[in-house]
Structures are given as structure tokens and as C-alpha cells.
Amino acid sequence: MGFHIGGLQGSIQKRKGQGEKPCLFLRTFTKGSEGVKQATIRRFISLGMLGVLVILFSFLSSYYWSGDNLLAILRDASVAGIIGVGVTYVILTAGIDLSTGSMMALVAMTMANIYRYTLLPIWMMILLGIFTGLAAGLFNGLVVAKLHLPEFIATLATMGIFRALTYTIAIRDGGGVITSQAMTYSSFVKLGGGVGRLHYVSIAFVIVTIAGQVVLKKTRFGTNLYAVGANKKAARLSGISIEKTRILAYMIVGLCSAVGAVFTTARLQSTTVLLGSGFEFNPIAAAVVGGVSLSGGYGDVVGTFIGALFLSALDNGVLKLQMNTAYQYVIKGTILILVVMFDSWYNGWMEKRAYEQGRREAANR
């Protein structure tokens, strides 16, 4: 029984004459007769898509290629990209999370209540907001892993639950009407700014991407994510705790959503119950455009980074050309369909090559 994880191929084997339990073997494809790794090829494809898009809009708009605009593209990609790192982890386990926008709203409204009704320092307010995101992610993970509900249904339900909780704790005026809460304390608002022309959220995006990629490629937890998404039965036989891995993945989404909420609120200098509404599509789209397979077991954080930049570049170009914003959704949806279709064909082709290579190697032993 075999599986393919990015550039990894695993198999469950019985050791002859030893009577040992099945164990997991992972093999990394290297450059040679098989060519460049599948993940690297897919990353180049994503980079090519981004390059073509930037070149196209640069011809159509003289301002598009300016330094300020490119930094604006990076800034606008950052929140979706930060949350996309967590979403990548969940998708790698063959899961999905539709509640990220509602988690952002819940975290922001929690901080707004602390800001308005307590004398806690700003750093404590942010820390409690982060804990709120972790708790929401933990709840998602428990619902999915312990109750064994389909991820789509579970997170669709919690999306409504978190949004309802946001309305419940919303800031209200004297007449009981929900209102926005200004958050203008200087040390908090500073997070919405930057160093020179480079925004703090962009710096955080790069740091989170690097950290996420290191965890994914250099730790046991990262290997477990790939294994669970590629073949749960094989992962279980290898001694991997599937429930723990999935719960941790959802908690990381909660953490990333909280970080995104902090930077978004600091930039807006206020929050409302509608914060993050409809935002759930962006992190998922960034991951998929970046080459993360919705069936699990394939993709990485660098691809999601590129995907987030691609979507931000697309939005920016549509605005620069003063096109109807409705076209953004049409173009995004079309691109997503084409990318998923391509990945389905491409992954199948690479798996066939891996299977044939495995047979040749087995025959040569």
C-alpha cells in the first residue's frame, strides 16, 4: 500500500522473517533521471503565473510596477497569507477551515471589549486576543477530530457560532445598538504602520512564512501533516496520532487568524462585528493557487506565499484598471477552477511516474 506526499513516496511493508508490525518508509525524490522534484516544478508554475500577471498589468498600467504599488501588493497579501499558512496545514491533512473570517471577528471584538472596559495594557489585550484565536482553533479541532464530523460541515457550523459570539459580545451604545469601537492607542495603532515604506504586517508575513516552512519541512509534526493527509491508515500504522495532528493544525489556523485580526484592527484603528466577513475564501484560494492539494498530502507554505501574492496582485490590477469589482470574483473563481483541474491532472501524472519508478527499483533489487 503506497502513497505520494509532495516529493515523498511511502510504503507499508512487512519485514521478511521478522514478524514485525508494519512501518512507514519515506523516500525523497532527488534530481536525476526523474528530473526536478514535483514540489519545485509546481512552485515554478505558480511563480510563472504570478510573473505573467504582473507583466500584463504593468503593460496596462504605468503605475503598477512602481515600488510603492509593489509594496502595497505585499501588504494587501499579508493577512490572507498569514492565515493561509495555518490553512495550508489543515488542507495538508485533507481538511478545510471555513471559519477563519469569523475567528478574526471574534478575536477583534474580544480585544475591543478589553480596550473599552478594562485598564489592561495593550500587550495583554493582544495576548488575550491570541489566546481567543487558539481557543477557537482548538474547538474546531476537537469538533473535527473527536466528533469525527466532516471538516466542511464542522467549520461551516463554527463559522456561524463564532460570528454569533461576536454579535453577543459586540460593543453597544446607550440604546443597545451595535456600534464600532475605535482603537486608537498609539502603541497599538503603530502595528498598522511600518518601517519606512515596509509595513509591519508584511514583515510578519515573511517571518510567519519562513517559520511555517521550517516547521513543515524540518520537524516531525510537519512530516505527520503530510502523512495524515496522504494516507490516514498508513499514518496510523506508523504510530502517528491522527487526532492530535489534526487538532494542532486547527489550533495553528486559530493562531494565524488571531495574528491577522491584530494587524487588521491596528490598521483600521477600529473593529466591527462584520470584520472578516467573506474573508474565508482568500486563505483557501491562496493555498490552492500556490499548489496545495485539496485532497491532502501535497503542497507547502512557500506555495501559499506565492498564491497570496498572486491574488493580491490580481485585485490590485483590477482596481488600477478601474474594472468592475465584480470581475474580481469571476476571475478568482475561474482561476481557482482551472488550477484545481490542472493540479488533479498534474498530481495524477506525477504519481504514475512515481509508481513506475518504484516498480523498476523493486525489480532491480
DSSP 40-91: HHHHHHHHHHHHHHHHHHHHH-TTTTSHHHHHHHHHHHHHHHHHHHHHHHHH
Query: Whose grid coordinates read 503542497?
Result: 299
Side-chain-side CA neighbours of residue 123 (13 Å): 0
Of the ranges 58-62, 286-290, 310-314, 345-349, which one carries the lowest mean pLDDT score? 345-349
Question: What is the model's pLDDT at position 271?
Answer: 94
Identify whether the C-beta of residue 154 lies closer than 8 Å to the C-beta of residue 160: no
Whether pLDDT at 20 is above 80: no
Quick: pLDDT tens for 280-304. Answer: 999 999 999 998 988 888 889 999 9
Q: Residue 94 — pLDDT band, cuts 50, 70, 90?
A: very high
Q: In a 10 Å sphere around its CB, with 0-12 CB exposed, 13-18 middle and 19+ buried, how is residue 320 labelled?
A: middle
Quick: pLDDT tens for 190-231. Answer: 999 999 889 999 999 999 999 999 999 999 999 999 999 989
How is residue 44 written as a grid cell?
515554478
CB count within 10 Å of CB 48 equals 11
Pairwise pLDDT comparison (348 vs 225), residue with the higher score: 225
CATH class for the region spanning 39-343: mainly alpha
